[in-house]
Structure 1
Amino acid sequence: MDNNIATIYTAQKGRKELSYNDRISVLEALEERIKDLEPRIVDALKADLRKPRFESFLSEIDFCLHEIKTVKKKLKKWMKPRRVCSPLPFMPAKSRIHFEPYGQVLVIAPWNYPFQLAIVPLIGAIAAGNKVILKPSEVAPNTSSILNELISSALDSEIAAVVEGGVDETTELLNLKFDYIFYTGNGHVGRIIMAAAAKNLTPLTLELGGKSPAIVGTKNLDLAAKRIVWGKFFNAGQTCVAPDYVLLRKEDQDEFINSAKKYLVQFYGDNVKNSPDYGRIINERHFDRLNALVKKDDVLIGGDVDKSDLYISPTFIKANESSEIMQDEIFGPILPLVNIDNLDEAIAYVKRHDKPLACYAFLDKTSEKNRVINEISSGGMVINDTIIHLSNDQLPFGGVGESGMGAYHGKHSFELFSHRKSVMNRAFFLENDLRYPPYSKKESFIRKLMNLIS
């Protein structure tokens, strides 16, 4: 085993539980260091993903700072034991739910939002009182390096530490016995991590992905196109909750496409490649995978590529259920349009496939909105917009089925990384002997009593 991994792991195991003051102190130190390193974090994200400064601030840095601010404000209240009712036969008694840390948490982060998706789970784990080993993605090496510097300079390694590296380091970490594992990434690796966790019966959260649909049935096609273009091409489409395909009526397609063209120019100018507000594909492997999905005869908008610059333009293509691009999550700036006749067909289409991480529906009628909400199962859902549900820390964020398990953000992070321990405290007076042997002649009375109090 790597000596560094073994040393960190052993030291954290021996570290005492974090008090409320410890947790606040750690989060304040993390907050200040993020602010200090903000320019270099932006530079690292630009080097890895050509991420625009605005996107880096909005979706990575400020997202984390907001999460810390929320925790600092509300943690004391969250930590208080939650009182619940006690059964009448055992009165007088007090019943409470106590929130205690699992202990030692492994966080494995992805490359697409390599800062936010590493730091936000870390914040939640620390808020709940855990010690954390963070494994950033080696696919975003510049951000991995700045994360290492950030954590090592702000926090004691007995509380939180970064382990950089690739598959070998991840495998070593998974061979250790953690108390909780939090993974963000794809389903293939998610299954490997779940199998490793099963060996130690380790609870875990899997934040995966999937093909998130956008159902377009509104008369306001122009605004629907604007919001879909923004949500799809933010971070060059490399967003787990980006709209993965659009379901719309054939008679609406031309108007939708014309509006999309208009907003692409409005957002990125006449030459998207030269726009400072449009990112790049993470590496050549993902570029080749995405490029192979685009059939030139199917292109409705875009289709321009430059491998030397890892550039793929915002691209709309026509597709159907059997198209190659409709088989797996795209995770890039390519958006298929699939024609449907009505809402019934759209709902049936989505339900034929795995439950998505997000579902978007652009509809005018309340009855139609309610149908989508009630009939489609997805990790999250937005009506008449895209991806904005992540910005509300009152909403749990997570998947269902193939798109993952477990949900976090805000209070939901604290609860996710906490074991809810049931505590019932009885008094020594008013003893009830009905539960004790001998049981003869008690059953009839007990049945009647239980019927009265249930």
Structure 2
Amino acid sequence: MGTEAGARLGETVRELREAYEGGRTRSLAWRQSQLRGLLRLLKEKEVEAFQALHKDLGKHHAEAYRDEVGLLNKSANGALQQLGKWTAPERVWVPLVAWPATAQLVPEPLGVVLIFSCWNVPLGLSLEPLIGAIAAGNAVALKPSELSPCTAKFLADNIGRYVDPSAVKVVQGGPEVGEQLMEHRWDKVLFTGSPRIARSVMAAASRHLTPVALELGGKCPCIFDAMPGGRDLQVSVNRIIGGKWSSCAGQACIAIDYVLVEERFAPVLIKMLKSTLKRFFQEADHMARIVNERNFERLSSLLKDRAVAPSILHGGSMDAKNLYIEPTILLNPPLDSAIMTEEIFGPLLPIITVKKIEDSIAFVKARPKPLAIYAFTRDAALRRRIVDETSSGTVTFNDAVVQYAIDGLPFGGVGQSGFGQYHGKYSFEMFSHKKAIMKRGYLIELALRYPPWDERKVTLMRHLYRFNYFAFVLSFLGLRR
């Protein structure tokens, strides 16, 4: 990055710091007005947002509304309705021995925060955390992904028209801009993307001891228990397809990466997947395209692997000109192949068979902790085992991906799938600090807390920590100096 561009970036950071230090982002009125501004943006610029998402990813406007615009409207409205409750001090119980005293937790903004969003849900992954950061009272720099340039430009052109441009700024650019941003001091950084880049973000943040939240994804498994034919089976297949191919063509961190199913039931599942795919995607534009040539080639190479190609049961055709890959089903590709060791992030679905469905738990446990585990089953015992014996950011039974839309559930990973949680109140808390405040009176003073020491004081302290009320009464009745 040139000297002039670096200077402009430094000026941007300085303006954000001044806006925050000036104090106006802390007021409830300011926060509410910014959230209303975002809602106006989503309403007045909805068509432009759809156009940007279609140019970047080929998203149908119905998918764009379902996964991005509609969810953002819900999130911003929810934050507006709940903001007074979120910002209210939280009373904390104080033991009698400390009486008279009060204690509370007061949420305060962290300061100036930086959000790196990702290209696959470029509007949602930009504005969802922005809603929380604004609600918490921060000044914010938003760095959208350069791999979704139309959406990045849409945000840069419009954010400053609907929210306070001195306290919320969009910074466009490629990796060099991200690196330059990380040279500055921030009070919190949220990064959504790949583990490779996340390591660089964390290394850079460590220079300023900046706290970081990472949203990284991983290989999300789907455990599919055998079930009789009928409506429930068809609904389950519908939801698997929705959780794989209908979410940005599988280019989503919470998309189903592979399915585990019993050998005896695999033919039934595969047959229904094929027929339902044909019904769902009669129109080519009803599924998003691959984001760019590099990712198209990466996915193509997964299918062209000589060890993998024989496992293709359905699909596999590719259109490089239009960056389109047909929904593809594979049966038992080699477990050491790239398609089973790397996050797929595309419209390819391996089906892995097991002798009995309980074996799927050991299969999942033997691999890095995923962002989400999905399981379709009526078996309560299996559900309990999945919850008790596996670790993941979320577990969803009998559906896929929809947990992202539930504000009452925190969204985030564990282990290699990331750390930090947001959505709804959790977004507010991600960008807040809970300040502990205690106030005591002077009516009572316990001498046993001070020297000189003797065994009587030790005995009283033992009672104090075991029986708060009893120790308090004894001290109040005169056993103090």
TM-score computed with the length of structure 2 as normaliser: 0.91
Q: Is the 8 A contact 2:376 2:398 kept in 1?
A: yes
Is structure 2 residue 464 aligned with structure 1 residue 436?
no
C-alpha displacement of 1:436: 2.1
- Deviation per CA, 1:47-74, whole angstroms, max 9, x where unpaired? 0000011011111111111111000001
| 2:150 counterpart (142, 148, 153) | 142
- State the distance in 1 between where 2:107 and 2:410 align: 18
- State the distance in 2 between where 1:218 and 1:375 align: 20
Is structure 2 residue 308 aligned with structure 1 residue 293?
no
**Equivalent position SS for 1:190:** helix
- The equivalent residue for 1:386 is 400
- The equivalent residue for 1:351 is 365
- State the distance in 1 between where 2:433 and 2:276 align: 47
- Deviation per CA, 1:359-388, whole angstroms, max 9, x where unpaired? 011112111111112111110111111111
Which amino acid letter does the alignment assign opposite residue 293 of structure 1?
Answer: L
| 1:8 counterpart (12, 16, 37) | 12
C-alpha displacement of 1:223: 3.2
- The equivalent residue for 1:303 is 316
Runs (4+) off by over 4 Å: none
Is structure 2 residue 127 aligned with structure 1 residue 112?
no
Which amino acid letter does the alignment assign opposite residue 365 of structure 1?
Answer: D
Which amino acid letter does the alignment assign opposite residue 433 of structure 1?
Answer: A
Is structure 2 residue 96 aligned with structure 1 residue 88?
yes
- State the distance in 2 between where 1:71 and 1:34 align: 15
Q: Is the 8 A contact 1:304 1:313 kept in 2?
A: yes
- The answer to which of 67-76 and 291-300 deviates more is 291-300
Is structure 2 residue 435 aligned with structure 1 residue 427?
no
- State the distance in 2 between where 1:348 and 1:111 align: 33
- Deviation per CA, 1:330-367, whole angstroms, max 9, x where unpaired? 00000001111113310000000000000011112111
- State the distance in 2 between where 1:312 and 1:62 align: 27
Is structure 2 residue 201 aligned with structure 1 residue 186?
no
| 1:262 counterpart (226, 250, 275) | 275
- State the distance in 1 between where 2:42 and 2:151 align: 13
- The equivalent residue for 1:324 is 338
Q: Is the 8 A contact 1:305 1:311 kept in 2?
A: yes
Q: Is the 8 A contact 1:49 1:281 kept in 2?
A: yes
- State the distance in 2 between where 1:60 and 1:164 align: 20
C-alpha displacement of 1:293: 0.5
| 1:283 counterpart (286, 292, 301) | 292
- State the distance in 2 between where 1:162 and 1:215 align: 40
- Deviation per CA, 1:122-158, whole angstroms, max 9, x where unpaired? 0000000111000000000000000111212112232
Q: Is the 8 A contact 1:303 1:312 kept in 2?
A: yes
C-alpha displacement of 1:262: 1.2
Which amino acid letter does the alignment assign opposite residue 266 of structure 1?
Answer: R
- Deviation per CA, 1:404-444, whole angstroms, max 9, x where unpaired? 00111001111111101110011122222321222234222
- State the distance in 2 between where 1:450 and 1:265 align: 68
Is structure 2 residue 235 aligned with structure 1 residue 227?
no
- The answer to which of 400-409 and 198-207 deviates more is 198-207
- The equivalent residue for 2:476 is none
**Equivalent position SS for 1:182:** strand
Q: Is the 8 A contact 2:72 2:124 kept in 1?
A: yes
Is structure 2 residue 219 aligned with structure 1 residue 211?
yes
Which amino acid letter does the alignment assign opposite residue 194 of structure 1?
Answer: M
Percent of aligned pairs sharing the same letter:
39
Is structure 2 residue 207 aligned with structure 1 residue 199?
yes
Q: Which aligned pairs between 1:45-194 and structure 2 lie closer than 5 A?
A: 45-194=53-202
**Equivalent position SS for 2:396:** strand
Q: Is the 8 A contact 2:226 2:261 kept in 1?
A: no
- State the distance in 2 between where 1:181 and 1:443 align: 47
Is structure 2 residue 457 aligned with structure 1 residue 447?
no
Q: Is the 8 A contact 1:224 1:385 kept in 2?
A: yes
- State the distance in 2 between where 1:133 and 1:96 align: 31
Q: Is the 8 A contact 1:12 1:157 kept in 2?
A: no
Q: Is the 8 A contact 1:211 1:328 kept in 2?
A: yes
Which amino acid letter does the alignment assign opposite residue 124 of structure 1?
Answer: G
- State the distance in 1 between where 2:206 and 2:390 align: 30
- State the distance in 1 between where 2:347 and 2:316 align: 10
Q: Is the 8 A contact 2:189 2:211 kept in 1?
A: yes
- State the distance in 2 between where 1:379 and 1:320 align: 26
Q: Is the 8 A contact 1:34 1:150 kept in 2?
A: no
**Structure 2, gaps ≥5 residues long:** 470-481
Relative to 1, partners in 2 of residues 1:349 and 1:286: Cα closer, same or farther, differing over 3 Å?
Answer: same
Q: Is the 8 A contact 1:290 1:330 kept in 2?
A: yes
Q: Which has the larger radius of gyration?
A: 2
- The answer to which of 11-20 and 398-407 deviates more is 11-20
- The answer to which of 6-15 and 131-140 deviates more is 6-15
Q: Is the 8 A contact 2:57 2:289 kept in 1?
A: yes
Q: Is the 8 A contact 1:226 1:259 kept in 2?
A: no
Q: Is the 8 A contact 1:320 1:338 kept in 2?
A: no
- Deviation per CA, 1:245-273, whole angstroms, max 9, x where unpaired? 0111122111111101111111111xxxx
- The answer to which of 314-323 and 57-66 deviates more is 314-323
- State the distance in 2 between where 1:185 and 1:421 align: 31
C-alpha displacement of 1:182: 0.4
Which amino acid letter does the alignment assign opposite residue 206 of structure 1?
Answer: L
- Deviation per CA, 1:104-134, whole angstroms, max 9, x where unpaired? 1000000000000000000000000111000
